[in-house]
Amino acid sequence: MSVRLHLLTWFAWPLIIAAGSAISEQEAPWQLGRTSPHWADAKPKRVLQLKHDPQKTDPENGIALKQAVVMLQPGDMLQIGPGRYSVDEKFDVDLLGSSEAPIWIVGADARRFPIITRSNARQNVMNVGERSRTEYLCLRQLEFTGGSTLIRLYDCHHFWLDRCHLHHAGAEGITANSRDTSHLFVTRNHFHDFTNPNATGEAMYLGGNHGKVVMSYSVIADNHVHHCGGKQGDGIEVKQGSHDNWIYRNRVHDTNYPCILAYGTGGKGLNVIEQNICYRSNDSVLQVQGEAIVRNNLLLAAAGAGFASTDHQGETRNLTFVHNTIISRARGANLSSWNDRQGMVFANNAVYTDRGDALRFPHGANGVSVSGNVLVGQVTGVEEDFTVGNDLTDFANVSWDGARRTAMPAKNSPLIGRGDEKYEVAVDITGNKRGRRLTAGAFDAP
């Protein structure tokens, strides 16, 4: 079947351009302060259009799509028209662009994404970089559903998944656990409904167990992730050894396992987990083994703990947990492996529980810096001073079940002015600069 492509001489595509210099191989994106790749402003050299043919079947349109994709060259942008494209053969995308000439595969209509799927779950909907290294590729405004895993990333670097809709897979949303990946940008996507009881059910499975496969220098930002189940059902999972990653400003909720789960980096650069809003997990809402900075997150409605940290595939160490707000009927922060570990900080947090411990060090807290916290609930294993809060009226409008999440301090809240300046984070969860009266928790006082 031939493929008819419409070539446009020029097309101005709107791109995110965040502040900061180009991302190098050695600098973590959170240090540069940008959520888009440094090649985001590169303009296509030619624009091709693939229109859905309503006279053809979904598989016939899928064949046309696959043929169009494999023809792409550096600097090409393929615009795909609305419609359903079922690629029932194995769909391998192995494209090598450059920073000056990336390859763009985009939905032509921002209101009606093209639907890319397959008729069974024998294969993934799309495999990227399996046969050869893939670099400088952007997928944008596309809908993926069906199949096994929606998108499996193999030898991928400088890859951008932006403003896509990923849902109802036979297994996971995206996985990067087959080969090392770097400079992945997963931004502004909507992930939901990974609930097959025979699959692990993560929306994002990034890196491999025990550091066998590593994701590095990557950004997971501004995504909406929800309803993850199956055998596990993490929202965003970053595996052991993956390093220098930025998990930023995501909203993750209604998961079976933790909304966000991060292991350690194996002694490499820290991961930063900040300004995320996570709620309603059948496990802990946030779990981090170590080698990370965790700041300005709002964590609500956990069946387990609002925040859990323990040895897992490596030892807990070098973990800074500051200016976070935890609201949990069950346990607040459960820090089971922090005793006598290097570089451990728990400061300027607001932890409110209805039952059990707000702060728990079951094996002690020797060497841990604990300061500037406001707590409601029991405290186990530490004797440092803290401020005792009242109840949920200390916040503007929150609820134990996570339905209400306006967690700014109320007027005259005990949170205001109780932080320790030694551990101050300059901005709060909204990105606004903190005032002179340092407030505990993720939100500064209004």
pLDDT digits (tens, 9 = 90+) for 157-178: 999 999 999 999 999 999 999 9
Q: By the 8 A CB rule, do 188 and 222 touch?
A: yes
With a cut of 50, say whether residue 15 has pLDDT above it: no
**Is the pLDDT confidence value at 6 over 70?**
no
Q: Report pLDDT for 21.
A: 34
Long-range contacts, stretch 377-386, CB < 8 angstroms, 24+ apart: 377/332, 377/351, 377/352, 377/353, 378/353, 381/339, 386/359
- Residue 402 bridge partners (DSSP): none
Handedness of CA 430, 352, 291, 239 (dihedral sign): negative
Contact 148, 119 (CB under 8 A): no
Q: Could you tell me which residues come within 8 angstroms of residue 427 by beta carbon, excluding any fewer than 6 positions away?
A: 296, 433, 434
- Taking CA atoms, 233 is separated from 205, 212, 237, in Å, by 10, 21, 10
104: closest CA among 40, 22, 183? 40
Determine the Cα–Cα distance for residues 53 and 29; give it in Å rounded to an integer: 41
The DSSP symbol for 421 reads G
Q: Which CATH number fits domain 6-13+25-423: 3.50.50.60, 3.40.50.300, 2.160.20.10, 1.10.287.130?
A: 2.160.20.10
The H or E element containing residue 357 is strand 350-360
CA 360 to each of CA 54, 193, 401: distance values in angstroms, whole numbers, following the listed order:
60, 33, 21
* β 115-117/143-145 pair status: parallel
How many CB atoms neighbour CB 120 within 10 A? 11
Instruction: Report the distance separating Cα 53 and Cα 86, nearest Å.
Output: 13
User: Hey, what amino acid is at 343?
Assistant: G
Place of tokens 């994106």: 29
Q: Does residue 2 surpass a pLDDT of 50?
A: no
Share of the chain above pLDDT 90, in %: 91
3-state class percentages of the chain: helix first, strand second, coil last, to nearest 5: 5, 40, 55
| Contact (Cβ atoms closer than 8 angstroms) between residue 312 and residue 289 | yes
Q: Can you tell me the mean pLDDT for 229-235?
A: 97
Tell me how far apart the alpha carbons of residues 102 and 41 are, in angstroms, rounded to a whole number. Answer: 10
CA Rg, the chain, in Å?
23
* Nearest in space to 216 (alpha carbons), one of 234, 189, 241: 241
Give me the pLDDT at residue 157, please: 97
Is 66 a residue whose pLDDT tops 50?
Answer: yes
Got the DSSP string for 257-287? S-SEEE---TTSSPEEEES-EEEEESS-SEE
Average pLDDT score, the chain: 93
The reported pTM is 0.94
Give the pair of three-digit tokens for residue 182: 């770097």
- Give the phi and the psi of residue 423 in degrees, each rounded to 5: -115, 25
Given a cut of 80, whether residue 14 has pLDDT beyond it is no
Average pLDDT over residues 293-300: 98
Residues whose CB falls within 8 Å of the CB of residue 107, separated by 6 or more in sequence, listed in order = 79, 80, 82, 113, 114, 140, 141, 142, 143
Distance CA 298, CA 323 (A): 9
Q: Which of 412, 413, 410, 405 is nearest to 429 (CA)?
A: 405
Residue 25 has what pLDDT?
Answer: 63
Q: Which one has a higher pLDDT value, 101 or 16?
A: 101
**Residue 306 near residue 280 (C-beta atoms within 8 A):** no
- Which residue ranges make up each domain of the chain? 6-13+25-423
| pLDDT average, residue stretch 57-71 | 98
Q: Please say if the pLDDT value at position 381 is more than 70.
A: yes
φ, ψ at 393 (rounded to 5°): -70, -5
Six-digit token pair at 302?
């956990």
Does the pLDDT at position 7 exceed 90? Answer: no
The answer to whether 113 and 142 have CB atoms below 8 angstroms apart is yes
165 by DSSP, 3-state: which? strand
pLDDT at residue number 314: 93
Point out the least confidently predicted range of 10-24, 30-44, 226-240, 367-381.
10-24
pLDDT greater than 70 at residue 22 = no
Q: How many residues does the chain have?
A: 446
Exposed (0-12), middle (13-18) or buried (19+): which is 421, by Cβ within 10 Å?
exposed
pLDDT of res. 356: 84
| AA letter at 90 | K
Query: To the nearest 10°, the Cα dihedral for 99, 105, 111, 116?
Result: -140
322-379 pLDDT, tens digit per residue, is 999 999 999 999 999 999 999 999 999 999 999 889 999 999 999 999 999 999 999 9
pLDDT value for 80: 98
DSSP 211: G
